[in-house]
Amino acid sequence: MLSGSMLLRPCLTGILFDIYHLEDILYLWILDQEGHAHLVTDTFYPVIYAHGSKNSIKKLSDRLTTLGVLKDPPFAASKLHFYQNRMIDVTAYRFARPSFLRTIHKKLYALFGRIDIYHSDIEVPTNYMYEKRIFPTARIRVHAGPGPHLEKIELLEDSDDPSYRLPSFRIMKMRMKVSHRISLSAGNSLLIEANGEEVELSASDPARFLSRLNEILDRADPDVILSAYGDQIIMPEIFSLAQKHGVEPHLDRDRVRTLRKIYTKGTSYMTYGSIVFRAPSYPLFGRWHIDSCNSFVFKESRLDGIVELARLSKLPVQRLARSSTGTAMTSIQTQAAFGPGYLVPWQKSHLEEKKTALELLNIDKGGLVFEPDIRESCVFEQVAQLDFSQMYPSIMVNHNISPETVLCDCCRGIETPRVPEANYHICVKRRGVVPTALAPILARRKYYKNIKKQTTGDEQERAEARQSSLKWLLVTSFGYLGYRNAKFGRLESHEAVTAFGRDKLLNAAKIAEDSGCPVLHAITDCLFVRMQSAGADGAGKTDLENLCSRIYYSAGVEIAVEGVFSWIVFLPSRADEKIPVANRYFGRYENGVLKVRGIAARRKDSPTFIQNSQKELLSIMQTASTSFHLRSLHPRMDAAFHSMKKKIERREVVWQDLLLRRTISRNLEDYTASGPSLLSLQQLASGNIRVQPGEKIRYLITSQGHADKSRRYLAEEIALMQKQTNPQYDVKAYTKLLREAYREIWECFAPAGYFAMLEDGQRRLGL
């Protein structure tokens, strides 16, 4: 029944690999030192708390007792209120049926009036790990009796130690051969890579397909199945075939709990003005299934980053992989709240304070930006970039900014530190949950960055992955302070951070100006200053180090020289060439390294050929150390551009490298304009392919101005289904894209009228 084994020894040492629950039974998979998997079980009855009128609490207690979901009768308790910082009387409920917790804050709140409910939305495995003080991949020793039922668990490592080592997991990879939007039954094979070999499985004979899949799984016995679109297509199709043909797939190590509902439709939601798609979730029991295309953390920091955040947040690895960094941050903050014994609300319960229009104008400003003056030239030489290290998280830690400490009830009317401009008072009687959670993360990331500098190879890559995951965690920490649904959020604390940030950036700019380094550009947490001495060595380097020291002494936030640019270009707005765009620039550091932001080479919607072409042009520019030298490169740049253009005209570019990418913002029937998105969706629908809002599509421009709209674009999956090996593309459209990518980086160096001549010449040639 099990790919692993039940625990046969009364005592076992290993890592906590997987943890999940079925009602009150927790299932813990332990990987021993030889890589063998063992299963032990435990029972757990979570407790929630409720506060409200006696009548409401009595109704709630009677209802829960009648439903038979409680382990024990309700009992009275006294707990610390998160915002008020005082003990309040609450009623505690211990649940024998944890699955009922899902309905608590959704239904009972509405049925029984104004009841404040606490601890109700903490997931059972995470709540269990809070109580046992263990975490995913922790090195533990378990003692078990018959069953095997856990009798004792010992943690054998410090959760705060960043120097931990993990065993080498056995990894199997899965992907669809053609496209994730074409099903197995439509002739799309499944490619499996294990033990250094790749196997292609066809589902034309489903029984044979499942049998061979099980043989591979049994032989490889992977710890991790790493898929591409596994949640969206591979797993639901395998489980659907298995249920239809009565064959049990060996994807799980625990074969008891494999009956699944098949979901193929994901969810689409709006966040920060963008539509996001999240595929359905298909975790495995006893193995990890990580969908590389359904995991933000994996995309940014690979498996090491997922494990790092799972250890910190106490979210099971597969849960963490499919969660946002905000979910991980909330779990870490919840742990910090458990320390003082706070009641943790299931939702944000503190409303924004009333403000006048003038107060809103003064306070709600966001980050500070100094725009570069590009009226005479957008090219500058000898510019140093100074970056604050994690400015906003450091402000939260240094100034004790947290939802319960800004405008706290306990310090009203007494002398306390104040927020610049806003004049909000900050608590002096307790340390906030947010800075308590963030301080060790900041220290941990600093440790990994130092390790990265001191090592090479696998160890360096591991340190990079871990620090990258922490970077995104820290970025999220600020946004969640003002997020409307954040458990530990309050708009005033969000405003306090930006107010401190503006104050520190202004002071830094003043110090730089007073030191003889005029500020050219600044944005939120970095400064671009003109060097008073040439070069990053000698006197120039010393001047910059002294400047950083003075800023650090004033701001209390670490700041360092990111680099000194030999030259840097701040690009103008497309609407007005005299107005710069803060996040669109590129430049060459004195060590020869290029830095680019916001241009075609960095934009994910650009075709691969256009990206690579602009990178090739930039590599020519990279050889120049001055703007004078740059202008002398015009013949090389012109020749390179025309060489690239000829590749398009001769149709020598592989069509897949010309695909443009778009994010679908609405359902097919909701589009009105006949643009690329609508026309591509219509093509896909004709091939029985539905795309949800938030998903990405790729298409080829075939004849952009054609009278028949259906012939203007070709969706990637349609070309693959029709087995088109060399679909024709619109030479004029792609030549224009190439020319615009060229213009973006070279217009300020090219001779006057050069790009007008290019455009006019191509127009006369019909291009």
Question: So what's the pLDDT on residue 1?
Answer: 42
Closest CA to 281 of 297, 299, 294, 298: 294
Q: Tokens 């080592």 belong to which residue?
A: 165
Q: What is the pLDDT of residue 535?
A: 53
**What was the pLDDT predicted at 112?**
52
pLDDT of 711 reads 92
> Quick one: what percent of the chain has pLDDT higher than 70?
93
Are 131 and 338 in contact by the 8 Å Cβ rule? The answer is: no
325: tokens are: 């960094």
Mean pLDDT lowest among 13-27, 293-307, 519-533: 519-533
Read off the pLDDT of each residue in 122-135 and give the average, rounded to a whole number.
95
* pLDDT reading at 114 higher than 60: yes
For the cut 50, the answer to whether the pLDDT of residue 572 exceeds it is: yes
Tokens of 533: 């001495």
Question: What is the pLDDT, as a whole number, of residue 765?
Answer: 55
CATH tag, 47-121: 3.30.70
Angle at 257 between CA 24 and CA 311, to 5 degrees: 65
| One CATH from 3.30.420.10, 2.40.40.20, 1.10.3720.10, 3.40.50.1360 for 171-292 | 3.30.420.10
The first and second tokens of residue 324, run together, are: 């946002």
Residues 182-204 have pLDDT tens digits of 888 777 999 999 988 999 999 99
pLDDT in tens, 344-379: 887 665 666 677 777 677 777 878 888 998 988 999
Query: Which ranges constitute the DSSP H helices of 186-284?
Result: 206-220, 235-245
Q: Which pLDDT score is estimated for 72?
A: 93
pLDDT at residue 278, rounded to an integer: 87
Which range has the worst mean pLDDT, 128-132, 540-544, 568-572, 678-682?
540-544
Order of strands across the sheet with 75-80? Answer: 75-80, 87-94, 47-52, 115-118
pTM: 0.92
**Whole-number pLDDT of residue 351:** 61
State the helix-helix crossing angle for 608-621 and 731-746, rounded to 10 degrees. 30
Q: What is the pLDDT of residue 537?
A: 56
Stretch 237-265: mean pLDDT:
85
Burial class of residue 17 (count of CB atoms within 10 Å of its CB; 0-12, 13-18, 19+): buried
Averaged pLDDT for residues 729-743: 96
Q: What is the mean pLDDT of residues 525-547?
A: 78
DSSP 8-state assignment for residue 751: P
Residue 5 confidence class, pLDDT cut points 50, 70, 90: low
Asked whether residue 480 carries a pLDDT value surpassing 50, the answer given is: yes
Q: Angle at the Cα of 543 (from 519 to 502), degrees rounded to 5?
A: 35
557-583 mean pLDDT: 90
- Taking only the tens place, the pLDDT of each residue in 201-231 is 999 999 999 999 999 999 999 999 999 999 9
> What is the domain partition of the chain in residue ranges?
47-121, 171-292, 369-598
Confidence of residue 483 (pLDDT cuts 50, 70, 90): confident
* C-alpha–C-alpha distance, residues 403 and 481, integer Å: 7
Cα distance between residue 400 and residue 265, in whole Å: 43
Mean of pLDDT values over 638-658: 96
Tens of pLDDT, residues 596-624: 999 999 999 999 999 999 999 999 999 99
Band of pLDDT at residue 9, cut at 50, 70 and 90: low
Q: What contacts 342, CB < 8 A, 6 or more positions away?
A: 79, 80, 81, 82, 433
Fold of 369-598: Palm domain of DNA polymerase (3.90.1600)
Evaluate if residue 750 carries a pLDDT over 60.
yes
What is the band of 165 on the pLDDT scale with cuts at 50, 70, 90? Answer: very high
Please write the tens of the pLDDT for every residue from 418-462: 999 888 999 999 999 999 999 999 999 999 999 999 999 999 999
Same fold flag, 171-292 and 369-598 = no
Q: Is the dihedral of CA 417, 422, 423, 426 positive or negative?
A: negative
Task: Give the three-state DSSP class for 346.
Answer: coil
